[in-house]
């Protein structure tokens, strides 16, 4: 057993390793390898990419307001109406260091989408209480802007609106995990460009890749770990 409690970074890493995004569809039609799932939930899926979903590879052909068209890659197992996507990648550290880590990943599909912990605003530790750690976080859910997405309306329609689902699903899932208390409130800010802002508008991208996303600020109460003999 551990003699010291896990810190915020360790606990967040555990959370993102187990978080799944649920896509709820109403109907599935198709052949042995090409099929459609009728849903208006796309999370971070986008056309022209191959994703590992529930242990197998699927290529996304077309995304419309009412359905997603898939092709099985190397198999013929169609997805069910309701399926799970893995959590976005989790990065933490300074902007400079995280940017270097992202640059070292040669496959662009392994870089985004990502949760980026910009800073731990505050940590409060408690003794002899059911919650041993309360932490306030500033997190970003970021995704790349592709195909010349420069207009605000396009960025909202193509990326931000669907990323909001991921944020809300994550916050609602936290208490169900059993190691966190209920999230009483949280705040979000849409970012059409992950960049520094000056009085005349966006000034400089914070990462070398052109990203947009949602800023999430929330307070999490972590329950005391049962396998920790902590003093």
CATH code reported for the domain at 8-19+88-223:
3.30.70
Domain spans of the chain, in order of start: 8-19+88-223, 20-86
At a CB cut-off of 8 Å and minimum separation 6, what does 37 contact? Answer: 23, 25, 27, 28, 67, 68, 70, 79, 81, 83
pTM of the model: 0.84
Dist. CA 58–CA 78, nearest whole Å? 9
How many helical (H) and strand (E) elements, i.e. helices and strands, does the chain have? 4, 14
Per-residue pLDDT at 230 exceeds 70 = no
Is the confidence at residue 109, as pLDDT, over 80? no
Whether residue 229 contacts residue 1, with contact meaning beta carbons closer than 8 Å, is answered with yes
142-198 pLDDT, tens digit each: 998 865 566 788 888 778 888 998 999 999 998 887 667 678 789 999 988 887 665
Six-digit token string for 177: 């995990």
């Amino acid at each position: 057993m551990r003699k010291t409690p896990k810190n915020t970074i360790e606990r967040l890493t555990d959370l993102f390793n187990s978080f799944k995004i649920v896509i709820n569809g109403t109907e599935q039609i198709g052949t042995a390898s090409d099929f459609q799932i009728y849903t208006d939930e796309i999370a971070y899926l986008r056309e022209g990419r191959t994703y590992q979903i529930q242990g197998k590879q699927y290529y996304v052909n077309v995304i419309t307001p009412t359905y997603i068209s898939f092709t099985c890659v190397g198999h013929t197992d169609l997805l069910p109406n309701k399926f799970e996507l893995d959590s976005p990648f989790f990065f933490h550290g300074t902007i400079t260091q995280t940017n270097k880590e992202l640059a070292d990943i040669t496959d662009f599909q392994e870089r985004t989408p990502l949760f980026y912990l910009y800073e731990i605003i505050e940590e409060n530790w408690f003794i002899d209480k059911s919650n041993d750690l309360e932490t306030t976080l500033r997190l970003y859910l970021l995704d790349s802007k592709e195909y010349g997405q420069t207009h605000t309306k396009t960025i909202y329609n193509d990326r931000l609106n669907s990323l909001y689902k991921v944020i809300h699903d994550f916050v609602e899932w936290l208490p169900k995990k059993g190691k966190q208390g209920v999230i009483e409130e949280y705040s979000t800010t849409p970012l059409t460009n992950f960049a520094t802002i000056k009085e005349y508008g966006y000034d400089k991208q914070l990462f070398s890749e052109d990203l947009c996303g949602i800023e999430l600020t929330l307070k999490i109460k972590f329950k005391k770990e049962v396998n920790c003999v902590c003093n």
